[in-house]
Each structure stands twice: as structure tokens, then as C-alpha cells.
Amino acid sequence: MSDASELLAANAAYYRAFAGGDFAAMSRIWAEDGVSCVHPGWPALIGRGAILESYRGILHGMNRVRIAHRDDTAIVMGDDGRVLCVEIVEGAALAATNCYRRVDGAWRMVHHQASPIAAAAEEPETPPPGRRLN
Amino acid sequence: MSDASELLAANAAYYRAFAGGDFAAMSRIWAEDGVSCVHPGWPALIGRGAILESYRGILHGMNRVRIAHRDDTAIVMGDDGRVLCVEIVEGAALAATNCYRRVDGAWRMVHHQASPIAAAAEEPETPPPGRRLN
């Protein structure tokens, strides 16, 4: 696979872990160092401990979050990768940025931020193919 | 200056250009390639053309945006840098992520995203010193 394909696959794995409530997978996805996360409406979380604690709460909450992603665009510069996509969370559209670093050949997440898009959006029945930039 | 100090200085320069409506400085701050931007409530903008057009509209708008930043935290991994900070825009607090890449010795912005923080915040009279990681 190309760098961009691998990055898009890593991004899909993030949303699979999220949608499936798979905390073990989520902790493997996040890198060890230099990590930050901004959940919608939250202040920034910095450091793996605070971030994983937030995901534990979200993934193990009473109500599983319905989340999907679409319009993934990958930007790769060496071992630094970024995916911009639209998250559909409980029917609402969010603009999400997922930053990755390639560590020992695997793309690990180093930053996540999702913020509400003002315009309403409908979840498509089949997601369009991801775009790739390089 | 250390890498983190240079990165924090680049971040301060971004907000100086923003607050001063300095479009020429803003276009020097943004990198040439691999750039993305999510303004509050907007979908992602990808590519230098779309991003600079958005800043032209924001900076040259009828009403200058009152913007300040505080609680800057720098994360540096090689030539990849990220600053998390709180933006105060017209009195409202936003969680901002500014990603930079070091190009020819200068930190250039490759990604910006700001999203509203649910809790209200007051603008401090004097910004606290930036925190540094790494």
C-alpha cells in the first residue's frame, strides 16, 4: 500500500475502534509521546494518560456513541501524516483532524480534534472513496 | 532559542498577524504545501489557495476580530511541531491547535483548527507564560 493508503487505513481503524467501543485497540492506536486531543466542547487534553482516560469514559459510557466518518483526505509528509474527515456523531456533522506519526512502520495517532460544522449534514448510505493529497 | 521557544514565537507571530489584520504576514506564516485549516463552524479547507482566501476575508472584513491567545503548550518532534492554546475571540474561549513544519529553519503553519470550549472564559489581563513539552 502507498503511504496515503496506509494512513487512510489507520484512520478507518480509529473509527472502527471508536464505534466498536474497543478501548484496547484505541490505546494501541494512540502514540506514546507528544499526544494531544480536543474533543468537541472540551479544552485540550495533553499527554497519553489524560487522553486515554477520556476515551475510557467515552467508550465505556452507558450510551455507545454512533459515529461514522466520510470524505477522508490524507496528507503525508515523510513520517508525518494528517487526515481531515467529516465525522457524523449521532447525526451531527463534525470537522475532524487526525494527526499521525509513523513509528516503527505503523501510523500512530498523535492528535485528534473534532469541531461542529455549522451546516447540518446527513449520513450517506455509502461513504464516498477517500481523497488523497501528497 | 530552543526548538520549543522558536515554535512558541512562531505561534505568537500567527496571532499578531491575525490581530493586526496583516495578510502579508499571514501568507508568509502558512507553508506552501500540505496545508489544512478548520475555522470554527466551517468545514475543512485544504490547500493554500482556499486557506489564504479565507484569511483574506477574515482579516479584511469590516469588523476586525479581537483575538488573543493564552496557555500555549508546544510539542516538538524533530521538524514537526504543534502548539495547543486557548484563543479568546470576542470574549469566547476556543481550543486551538496550530501545527507547524520546520522548512529551511523556519516554523511554517501547516494546520490550524479552533473549536469552541463549552465553558465560558474571561480574557486575562496579562497572559501567563507558555508551557513547554519536550
Size of interface A-B (CB pairs under 8 A): 108
The terminus-to-terminus CA distance of chain A in angstroms comes to 14
**Cell 504576514, residue?**
B25
Chain B neighbors of A95, CB-CB under 8 A: 38, 42-44, 113
Q: What is the mean pLDDT of chain B?
A: 90
The reported pLDDT for the residue numbered A64 is: 78
Chain B neighbors of A73, CB-CB under 8 A: 36, 44, 46
Q: In the predicted model, is pLDDT for residue A121 greater than 70? A: no
Q: What is the pLDDT of residues A14-27, one digit of tens each?
A: 999 999 999 999 99
Rounded to an integer, what distance in angstroms lies between the CA atom of residue A133 and that of residue A120?
26
Q: In the predicted model, is pLDDT for residue A62 greater than 70? A: no
Lowest mean pLDDT among A57-61, A109-113, A117-121: A117-121
Residues of chain B whose beta carbon is less than 8 angstroms from a beta carbon of chain A are 33-34, 36, 38, 40-44, 46-47, 73, 75-77, 80, 82, 84, 86, 95, 97, 99, 101, 110-111, 113-119, 133-134
pTM of the model: 0.88
**Cell 483532524, residue?**
A97
Long-range contacts of A50-53 (CB under 8 A, 24+ apart): A52/A26, A52/A27
Strand-pair category, B36-38 with B45-46 = antiparallel
Mutate: best of B51, B102, B113, partner A, most A CBs <10 A? B113
On the 0-12 / 13-18 / 19+ scale of CB atoms within 10 A, B33 is middle
Give A84's Cβ-side CA count (13 Å radius).
Answer: 22
Q: What's the whole-number mean pLDDT along residues A75-79?
A: 96
Q: In the predicted model, is pLDDT for residue B122 greater than 70? A: no
The reported pLDDT for the residue numbered A125 is: 46
Q: Do A117 and B46 touch (CB under 8 A)?
A: no
Q: In the predicted model, is pLDDT for residue B126 greater than 60? A: no
The reported pLDDT for the residue numbered B64 is: 78
Q: What is the pLDDT of residues B78-112, one digit of tens each?
A: 999 999 999 999 999 999 999 999 999 999 999 99
pLDDT band at A130 (very low <50, low <70, confident <90, very high): low
Distance from CA of A25 to the nearest CA of B (A): 24
